[in-house]
Amino acid sequence: MKKTIQREHNERIARLRTHQKNIERYQSLLKTNLNDVEMQFLERRLSEERLAIAILQFMGSSGAAEGYDHPDAR
Q: Would you say residue 66 has pLDDT above 70?
A: no
- pLDDT tens for each residue of 17-38: 999 999 999 999 999 999 999 9
Q: Would you say residue 52 has pLDDT above 90?
A: yes
Number of helices (H) and strands (E) in the chain: give both, helices first.
2, 0
| pLDDT interval class at 65 (50, 70, 90) | very low
Taking a C-beta distance cutoff of 8 angstroms, is the pair 71, 48 a contact?
Answer: yes
Share of the chain above pLDDT 70, in %: 80
| pLDDT interval class at 2 (50, 70, 90) | confident
